[in-house]
Structure 1
């Protein structure tokens, strides 16, 4: 059995290599750039009007004759003489020898003559060539997670495909003879299986889309064969249940039989002690406890950071904060505790129902209080470390 810190240190050392893929920009939301992107053009690529109005050569004149019109998309570069102006619209090409645009609200127009009521400063209301970015400049750095604005920005540069960190393919393998599919009439001695849909939701919340759900009975050969098949096709295998030391817990033996390297087994924590982590080739395996709250806690603390790291994210861990405890906490277990809690402002309260089987309390939680193994008591008003579950 190892400490929480040691387990996290082992996981943090992986992966050694990263993979990437080329995707269409339109499908890249929340993906992470695998390479720097440099602008192929100036943006804007020509001098643009920043508003609807009139473009002219700046002078002391107050009256100008309208000789042409420039609307967005027009490619004609008009030549203006002294005292002439072009009717212009937002985003339209500003003639080369015009240096100022006045908004239409600041002129009076009679026919083709405009009288300026409020003269703008010279060069006003013109977006310069390359004002946003120049050709060859760094547009977005490697490691940038693409939001809606980033995708729009790159599209505006004419980019259609990009290289991104490849998001992992994940399988969730659930074991247990007692498990029954939700939506059926519950039989005596059975419980509805919830871990697969819970873990699937947790994966989707961090952008993982390629997810396969597998259900296996507590049979050694069935578990071994499904693990073997999955290891060759997935980047991450999450196994729920069958990792403890009961007569029908076959997962560890099946993993070792499939030559998955055991990197650690059992962590000095509560809940989630029987956590197993291993690796074969480029596939990582987390064998999570079967109890739902234990499984979810282990996912948050251990699996989630590795999944985000593989996906190229920089901020892989849930945010930790120091806050004031509103609850007395006793820890005589000698283990690190992860307690479901409610965080509000600068204080946090432990919720009732800390059993590893209880998801109800988890559903009401927005934080986990982390009490290290050497701390035996926390009093009301003491500072505690808190992991925020709401991003």
Structure 2
């Protein structure tokens, strides 16, 4: 059995990045850049008007003859004299002889001339060429997450394809003869299976939207066969249940018989102690406890950073926050505790019902409060470390 810090190090060291692929910008949402992107053009590519109004050469004069018009998309480089202006609209090309745009609300206009009632500063309301980015400037560094705004920015630069890390193919294998699919009649002695849909939802928060679910009966032969097929086709395998030391827990044996290298088994923590982490070639395997709260805790602490690492993120772990305790905590277990809790801007409250089988408080919690294994008592108002899961 190893400590949490050692387990985290082993997971990070063994989660290599996925291969890269070229993808259309419009389909890149949620992917992470594998290469730095440079701009093929300046943006804006010419001086633009930031307002609807009039472009002119700034001077002490207030009255100007209107000699032309410039709409968005036009490129009429009119030669302006000192006493001349052009009608211009937002996003339109600003002629070389003009250096300022006065907004239309600040002029008195007739058909052929304007009188500026409120003179703007020189260069006002003119977007310089390359104001957002110059040609060959860095658009995004490698390891940047592609968001809707990033897609829009790439498109406005004329970029149609980018190189990203592939998203890992994830399989979820559910074990347990006692499990029944939600929606079906529940016989005596059975419980509804919830871990697979819970883990699928948790994966979606990272950007893995398609995780395949497999189910297997609690026997060694079936478990070994199911794992053989899954290990050949998936990049990350999550197994729910069957990893403890009961008579019907066959997962660890089946993994070893399939050539999976054990990197660690059991962590000095509560909940979530009986977890197996291993690998076969580039495929990562997490055998998670069957108890729902234990399974989800270990997902956030270990699976989450492993998958983010594979996807190319720079910051792979959940962020850590510090808050003051609303009430004291004792820890006589000698284990690291991950407690379901609620935090606000200043304080954190540990919730009731911390059992590894109970999801009711997990469903209302917005963080996991970490109590280190070597800390026996935490006092009210003491600063503690949280992992936000909201």
Q: How high is the TM-score relative to the length of structure 2?
A: 0.96
Question: Which residue number corresponds to residue 215 of structure 1?
Answer: 215
Change in 2 beyond 3 A, CA 1:117/1:330: closer
Question: Which residue number corresponds to residue 321 of structure 1?
Answer: 321
Which secondary structure state, in structure 1, belongs to the residue aligned with residue 233 of structure 2? coil
How far does the alpha carbon of each residue in 1:323-346 deviate from its partner, in whole angstroms, 9 at most, with x for none? 332334332222211122222333
Question: Which residue number corresponds to residue 262 of structure 1?
Answer: 262
Change in 2 beyond 3 A, CA 1:290/1:68: same
1:19 and 1:292 map into 2 onto residues whose CA distance is 32
Deviates more, 1:194-203 or 1:67-76: 67-76
**How much does 1:80 deviate?**
2.2
Which secondary structure state, in structure 2, belongs to the residue aligned with residue 33 of structure 1? coil
Question: Which residue number corresponds to residue 24 of structure 1?
Answer: 24
2:257 and 2:23 map into 1 onto residues whose CA distance is 37
Question: Which residue number corresponds to residue 304 of structure 2?
Answer: 304
Which secondary structure state, in structure 2, belongs to the residue aligned with residue 196 of structure 1? helix
**How much does 1:211 deviate?**
0.9
The question of 1:295 aligning with 2:295 is answered yes
Change in 2 beyond 3 A, CA 1:101/1:174: same
The question of 1:74 aligning with 2:86 is answered no
**How much does 1:277 deviate?**
0.2
Question: Which residue number corresponds to residue 9 of structure 1?
Answer: 9
Query: Do the aligned residues in 1 keep the contact of 2:17 with 2:312 (CA within 8 Å)?
Result: no
2:124 and 2:200 map into 1 onto residues whose CA distance is 54
**How much does 1:259 deviate?**
0.1
1:112 and 1:18 map into 2 onto residues whose CA distance is 64
Query: Do the aligned residues in 1 keep the contact of 2:19 with 2:166 (CA within 8 Å)?
Result: yes
**How much does 1:17 deviate?**
4.5
Change in 2 beyond 3 A, CA 1:82/1:240: same
Question: Which residue number corresponds to residue 193 of structure 1?
Answer: 193
2:236 and 2:115 map into 1 onto residues whose CA distance is 70
**How much does 1:304 deviate?**
0.6
Query: Do the aligned residues in 1 keep the contact of 2:107 with 2:117 (CA within 8 Å)?
Result: yes
Query: Do the aligned residues in 1 keep the contact of 2:102 with 2:125 (CA within 8 Å)?
Result: yes
Which secondary structure state, in structure 2, belongs to the residue aligned with residue 295 of structure 1? helix
**How much does 1:116 deviate?**
2.1
2:90 and 2:99 map into 1 onto residues whose CA distance is 15
Deviates more, 1:229-238 or 1:140-149: 140-149
Aligned residues: 390
Query: Do the aligned residues in 2 keep the contact of 1:49 with 1:126 (CA within 8 Å)?
Result: yes
2:173 and 2:252 map into 1 onto residues whose CA distance is 13
Question: Which residue number corresponds to residue 342 of structure 1?
Answer: 342
Change in 2 beyond 3 A, CA 1:206/1:82: same
Query: Do the aligned residues in 2 keep the contact of 1:168 with 1:210 (CA within 8 Å)?
Result: no
Q: Which runs of 4+ in 1 moved over 6 A?
A: none
Change in 2 beyond 3 A, CA 1:285/1:99: same
Question: Which residue number corresponds to residue 33 of structure 2?
Answer: 33
**How much does 1:126 deviate?**
1.4
1:244 and 1:113 map into 2 onto residues whose CA distance is 86
Coordinate RMSD, CA, aligned: 1.6
**How much does 1:251 deviate?**
0.5
Which secondary structure state, in structure 2, belongs to the residue aligned with residue 246 of structure 1? coil
How far does the alpha carbon of each residue in 1:65-115 deviate from its partner, in whole angstroms, 9 at most, with x for none? 222111001122222234222111111111122222221122211221212
Gaps in structure 2 of 5+ consecutive residues: none
